Chain A
Amino acid sequence: MTNRQSRPSFQLARMIEIHHLSKHFGPKVAVDNLSLTVQKGQVLGFLGPNGAGKSTTMRMITGYLPPSAGSITIGGVDMLDNPNTAKAKIGYLPESAPLYADMTVAGFLSFAAELRGLSGAAKKAAVEKAITTCFLEKVRSQSIDTLSKGYRHRTCLAQAIIHDPEVLILDEPTDGLDPNQKDVVRNLIKEMGKTKAIIFSTHILEEVEACCTRAVIIDQGKVVADGTPDELKRRALRAGSVHVKITGPGAASLAGDLARLGHAGRIEDPVTADDSFQGTVYPKAKTATGALTTEIYDLCRNRNLTLSELHEEPGRLDDMFRELTSQNQV
């Protein structure tokens, strides 16, 4: 993409600001008093179970749906007061990747570029760049109604980035892509994230770890977690638990000693044999990463026991996701 150095992270330009945003569909509350700020250089992964309100939120941010309450500001411009100025700053990939079936790929991109205010040589260059970036050379003059799903999705993505917007809103951008293309799109998002403010929704949690600087989980229209992927992982119940296998004389009676360690909480699944112990030691609340492992390691060294397995669970996003969002499921 650009050869420019990525911007230093202290440059905090607030590109997307939403305050107390709500959306009701009749009696149904799809988005409930949601507030978020995304800065330039941030890639925000937007997670949540089906029906959580991700797409509805994105449709409000892009000016498609009017909010029931709350405000949306894009690069300092209010979406409700100056919709066209605000919309000009955004590139949007809707969830269903809608396209005009009767156009060719290049024709459609040229139409999108014109609506974005590009013309002449600038328009041509923008179309060419979008075609190259989204790997559409092969299908450039193909009619859109004959494209495969993945190509349709990429054509719609190309439309979203054609005017090099400051803000990108991508609703499930990797949906329907093959593994190679998923990877290409993730890298693209990561690269563009250095100079833009990006919100993208996904159900693929590895994707969040791979390219987000921040993840927000919503459920029933409310934010239930907000932090870097690492922070969120550590909130999983199993995060920080240490699986051990210790062998040596007296190892069988080790459970009590392990439980008495300063940082240790309960022990689960203990298996004791003649001269070995294995099980999972959970840390107490607020234990720093690594503190429990150090204690276990020291204990074994002092008693001349062999530590044949020691594994600290770093926490998994999917555990955390399940724990935070499953209590509301029917």
Chain B
Amino acid sequence: MRHISIIFKRELAAYFNNPLAYVLIIIFSVLSMGLTFVIGKFLDLNDASLTNFFLFHPWIYMIFGPAIGMRLWSEEHRMGTTELLLTMPISPWEAIVGKFLAACVVLAAALLSTIPIVVTVYILGSPDGQMIFSGYLGSFLIGAATIAITCAISALTRSQISCLLISVFICFLLVLAGFPSVADFLRPTAPWLADLGNAISLWWHQSEMARGLVRLQSLAYLTTLIAFCLYLTSVIIRSKRA
């Protein structure tokens, strides 16, 4: 625990000592709220609900998650500090978890920056508080999953740009897999594939939670995905040294 918190503090400082984290948070905030107002026709719908707002999140995370996570190990490999970190008397998983948690704080800060839209729906009407909570929970878990995926990819390469591109591609597939048009296309020919697509799709889980449906299946899938990616990171780090 002590080691995790030491790594966590360093990584957090590295994020916030640098304009990148602030820029990303602002972009997230503007995009998620802007898309909701402009494309989601938030005000015209006259519906005190944030469902549309949350449905934009997976698409934003597709790039936002990799942008936050790409430096986690790539930067370490590029500077050569992996050699320093892994010869300290700590376990690699402590470093992995510490770094992941720091990235999750950036994610949480980005979500916090969207408070104005919550205030707006409360002014417009009387929204379902539980639905807002489940939307935020889903959003956080999906964001964390994109960060965890990026974390594993970043352990593979010293180039942040390669990490970004590969991770965006993987996240894109994971979002798209359960998108209605894809599911509708698959269902007539291979219904099982459509179901599988839904089950692994970040978009599908988010669409459920945005409507207030927090399923055990969603929570289990997302936490397992995160845990698996962090485990994969440790395997990659170990095998890179062999």
A and B found bound together: yes
B88 touches A116 (CB 8 A): yes
What residues of chain A lie closer than 8 Å to B82, measured between beta carbons? 98
Indicate which residue in B14, B83, B87, B242 contacts A87 across the interface (CB closer than 8 Å): B87
Indicate which residue in B10, B18, B79 contacts A111 across the interface (CB closer than 8 Å): B10
Given contacts A98-B79, A102-B14, A114-B6, contact A84 B84 (CB under 8 A): no
Indicate which residue in A98, A101, A102, A112 contacts B83 across the interface (CB closer than 8 Å): A98
Given contacts A90-B87, A115-B90, A116-B89, contact A66 B79 (CB under 8 A): no
Tell me the bound Cα distance from A222 to B242 in angstroms: 20
Residue A63 interfacial (CB < 8 Å): yes
What residues of chain A lie closer than 8 Å to B91, measured between beta carbons? 84
Residue A202 interfacial (CB < 8 Å): no
Q: Give chain A interface residues in 92-126, CB to chain B under 8 Å.
A: 92, 94, 96, 98-103, 111-112, 114-117
Indicate which residue in A88, A92, A94, A115 contacts B80 across the interface (CB closer than 8 Å): A94
Residue A297 interfacial (CB < 8 Å): no
Tell me the bound Cα distance from A248 to B189 in angstroms: 112
Secondary structure of the B contact surface, majority rule: helix
A84 touches B14 (CB 8 A): no
A98 touches B89 (CB 8 A): no
Q: Give chain B interface residues in 1-50, CB to chain A under 8 Å.
A: 3, 6, 10, 13-14, 17-18
B87 touches A63 (CB 8 A): yes
Tell me the bound Cα distance from A112 to B87 in angstroms: 11
Indicate which residue in A64, A66, A111, A117 contacts B89 across the interface (CB closer than 8 Å): A117
Tell me the bound Cα distance from A220 to B79 in angstroms: 28
A100 touches B83 (CB 8 A): no
Interface residues in chain A, defined as those with a beta carbon under 8 Å from any beta carbon in chain B: 59, 62-66, 83-85, 87-88, 90, 92, 94, 96, 98-103, 111-112, 114-117, 156, 159
Leading 7 A-B pairs by shortest Cβ distance: A98-B80, A88-B89, A87-B89, A84-B89, A62-B87, A115-B88, A98-B81
Interface residues in chain B, defined as those with a beta carbon under 8 Å from any beta carbon in chain A: 3, 6, 10, 13-14, 17-18, 79-84, 86-91, 238, 241-242
Pick 15 A–B contacts, CB within 8 A, sort by A: A62-B87, A63-B87, A64-B241, A66-B241, A87-B87, A88-B89, A94-B84, A96-B83, A102-B13, A102-B18, A103-B14, A115-B89, A116-B89, A117-B89, A159-B84
